[in-house]
Structure 1
Amino acid sequence: MKASPAEVLPVDHAKAILVGRILTEAGPSPVILRGGRILDVSASAATISDLLDHADPAAVAGVDIGAVSDIGSDDGPVLLAPIDLQCVKACGVTFALSAIERVIEERARGDADKAVAIRDDLEARIGSGIRAVAPGTPEAASLKAALIEAGMWSQYLEVAIGPDAEVFTKAPVLSAVGWGADIGVRSDSDWNNPEPEVVLIVDRHGTPRGATLGNDVNLRDFEGRSALLLGKAKDNNASTALGPFIRLFDDGFTMDDVRAAEIDLVIDGPEGYRLEGTNKMSQISRDPTELVRQALSEHQYPDGFALFLGTLFAPIQDRDHPGRGFTHKDGDLVRIASPKLGTLANRVTTSKAAPPWTFGIRELMRNLAGRGLL
């Protein structure tokens, strides 16, 4: 996969603090992009976890290993997922309004007037607009009672508007793939889609240090059959993509930029099919810091963690047959982009056909020890 730096990096990358991982001849190495150069900082911080423990990661010394202008070229560096020892967590159904609206649409069976009537009835019962309902509030409890009475309640709505967010483990440590890698869907899934998301990177102290882009591949057929299949639907070989780099928080990029981010998705199929969509973080129901708090409520992460924040995007555009909606095909090119975070691009294959995950924690420790970095 080829691209120019302008097609990979944030629009203001010259002013951004970008950190990530590159596969060097010696092994995977944390890097910082600074002054148009790629600096290998592994001698100062052997892992991204170590780097994010620094009070000022941008000031860590590094060895120049190439130009930023080489990123995306044939001879450019291989970009790995920009995390290493962090646990990969994810939140689901974080856009309550879209979840409620989907339930209303299903009950209305495509009749717009009927959908309006159902919505008006629910709002009359709770005494306020559905858009104003915040998860875990008395108004949300009233809405839950109204939905139950109307026979419209589901376990998905419980985590959409109830007090407890859905937080699950998406992938094992070191299993995520980066920009340009193949991304995998289960070979026995025939209804699936990408999930374009912002991913917070949290250090060992529970402090969000920055953000990147992620593709939380979703198998709608598996999870649709049973919520108990969530693990099988979400955690498969190459089914988690992150990148291209972590943008660290500073005066030019803050949590408010995460809250306001718009994440664009473009899928180009091998047969000429094209799908476009957008995930608007401004519509998220729980603040990103609240999701971090819930992930940390009774757990510790001594190496930090990455937290997928969920998506508003749900593809309904038909691909092959009317009424069948969207599903991936082998060879789909998926681009997830946001101006201040850059572009994450991956080509779709099956989890069986994707390169097997073989470089685990033991291999990383042996590699770092052999390089004298431990």
Structure 2
Amino acid sequence: MRYYRTETATGPLLLAREGRKVYDLTTARRSVESFRDLARVAATLEVGVDEVAGRLLDDAALLDDDAVSDPDRPVVAEEVWAAGVTYEVSSDAREAESGRPEIYQDVFTNERPEIFFKATPSRTVGPGEAVGVRGDSDWDVPEPELGVVVYEGEIVGYTVGNDVSSRDIEGQNPLYLPQAKVYDRCCSVGPCVASPETVGDPRDLELSMTIERDGETAFEGSTSTSNLARSPEELVSYLTRHNDLPELTVLLTGTSVVPPEEFTLREGDAVDIDIENVGTLSNGVTQV
């Protein structure tokens, strides 16, 4: 199933979509208002989130298909982390922006992956909201990524992520990575959380990105997560080593769709990122 969150006048609702059917799980159990609530019950019972949701369907209100057409952020994770240089094309892009090929090639081939802190809840936006580009940067790009939703250290689902980055700041010096990655509206996730059973093999998914500007396509590209050099399980294992994570965390797994060097995001652009078996995340762009 795919899980969506929406706000109403009476409070938040957790919706589950199975095929073309949409169920309001909160009507079946008022205490289940978010994916966090669902994951907490699943962890307690030591079962998957789909099994818990399945037990609620008979008592859940059946909604129209368009009930998930305007969702809110599906998970409000205390921390968002990201992995870098997990695709070879990402390694090439980092080398081009920095002029230091040996550093990023070492990251790509090394046993230990690059994992860095990306965002707090206040710096993360959801579907339909604008991601930010820094006012002191002249080269900014979206980075479409498969996001892993981690509850108490275990993978419980997948989402779509946009790891917006200031490539010129990052390229000036590798130690500037935090400023290139962490700032207001630097990250978006959504539109839903897809269960592991719904996603299937996370390393066999088509991923595409389209950027619209002034009503025209400014960039489009696609790839497959089969090019991901490290499995989500391996990345999560490094994230959790000697690192006491909060209850709910999102880990972005890296990008391999990189716009050309002459491209930079502008205020007013629209970014659509689609991942097979998960969904499409759409965001505008604003300067921060």
2:209 is matched with 265
Larger Rg: 1
Return the match for 2:22 from 37, 40, 46: 37
Return the match for 1:332 from 269, 276, 280: 269
1:370 is matched with none
1:193 is matched with 141
Separation (CA, whole Å) in 2 of partners of 1:188 and 1:300:
34
Return the match for 1:207 from 138, 154, 160: 154
Greater strand percent: which structure?
Answer: 2
Q: Structure 1 residues 23 and 105 mapped into 2: Cα distance closer, same or farther (>3 Å)?
A: closer
The C-alpha deviation readout for 1:28-83, integer Å capped at 9, x for no partner, is: 443323562341427233442221131333235375384222433xxxxx422211
Separation (CA, whole Å) in 1 of partners of 2:74 and 2:173:
32
Return the match for 2:235 from 268, 291, 302: 291
User: Normalising by structure 1, what TM-score?
Assistant: 0.67
Q: Offset of 1:269 from its aligned partner?
A: 0.5
Does the CA contact (< 8 Å) of 2:209 and 2:222 recur in 1?
yes
Please identify, of 18-27 and 189-198, the stretch whose mean Cα deviation from structure 2 is larger.
18-27
Please identify, of 37-46 and 88-97, the stretch whose mean Cα deviation from structure 2 is larger.
37-46
Does the CA contact (< 8 Å) of 1:195 and 1:218 recur in 2?
yes
Q: Offset of 1:264 from its aligned partner?
A: 0.6
1:315 is matched with 259
Separation (CA, whole Å) in 2 of partners of 1:191 and 1:307:
24
Return the match for 2:102 from 145, 150, 153: 153
Q: Structure 1 residues 101 and 43 mapped into 2: Cα distance closer, same or farther (>3 Å)?
A: closer
Equivalent runs, 1:97-116 vs 2, <5 Å: 98-99=90-91, 103=95
Q: Structure 1 residues 104 and 236 mapped into 2: Cα distance closer, same or farther (>3 Å)?
A: closer
User: Is 1:69 aligned to residue 54 of structure 2?
Assistant: no
Q: Structure 1 residues 236 and 26 mapped into 2: Cα distance closer, same or farther (>3 Å)?
A: farther
Separation (CA, whole Å) in 1 of partners of 2:101 and 2:8:
54
SS at match of 2:124: coil
Separation (CA, whole Å) in 1 of partners of 2:169 and 2:94:
19
Q: Structure 1 residues 37 and 287 mapped into 2: Cα distance closer, same or farther (>3 Å)?
A: closer
Separation (CA, whole Å) in 2 of partners of 1:290 and 1:21:
29
Counterpart of 2:35, as a letter, is I
Q: Structure 1 residues 46 and 289 mapped into 2: Cα distance closer, same or farther (>3 Å)?
A: same
Return the match for 2:249 from 276, 297, 305: 305
1:341 is matched with 278
Q: Structure 1 residues 178 and 335 mapped into 2: Cα distance closer, same or farther (>3 Å)?
A: same
Separation (CA, whole Å) in 2 of partners of 1:237 and 1:201:
22
Counterpart of 2:269, as a letter, is D
Separation (CA, whole Å) in 1 of partners of 2:182 and 2:246:
22
The C-alpha deviation readout for 1:147-182, integer Å capped at 9, x for no partner, is: xxxx9522x223211122111111113542221111
Does the CA contact (< 8 Å) of 1:48 and 1:84 recur in 2?
no
Structure 1 residue ranges without an equivalent (≥5): 1-16, 73-77, 108-150, 317-323, 352-374
Return the match for 2:35 from 48, 56, 74: 48
Separation (CA, whole Å) in 1 of partners of 2:73 and 2:232:
21
Return the match for 1:226 from 162, 173, 182: 173
User: Is 1:235 aligned to residue 182 of structure 2?
Assistant: yes
1:362 is matched with none
1:94 is matched with 86
2:6 is matched with 22
Separation (CA, whole Å) in 2 of partners of 1:271 and 1:47:
35
Q: Offset of 1:273 from its aligned partner?
A: 4.7
- Aligned residue pairs, count: 275
Structure 2 residue ranges without an equivalent (≥5): none
Does the CA contact (< 8 Å) of 2:78 and 2:121 recur in 1?
yes
Q: Structure 1 residues 98 and 194 mapped into 2: Cα distance closer, same or farther (>3 Å)?
A: closer
Q: Offset of 1:223 from its aligned partner?
A: 1.0
Return the match for 1:58 from 30, 53, 59: 53
User: Is 1:164 aligned to residue 112 of structure 2?
Assistant: yes
Does the CA contact (< 8 Å) of 1:197 and 1:310 recur in 2?
yes
Separation (CA, whole Å) in 2 of partners of 1:173 and 1:232:
17
Separation (CA, whole Å) in 2 of partners of 1:38 and 1:266:
30
Quote the RMSD (CA, aligned, Å): 2.6
Does the CA contact (< 8 Å) of 1:262 and 1:338 recur in 2?
yes
Does the CA contact (< 8 Å) of 1:49 and 1:86 recur in 2?
no
Sequence identity of aligned pairs in percent? 31
User: Is 1:253 aligned to residue 199 of structure 2?
Assistant: yes
SS at match of 1:289: helix
Please identify, of 297-306 and 331-340, the stretch whose mean Cα deviation from structure 2 is larger.
297-306
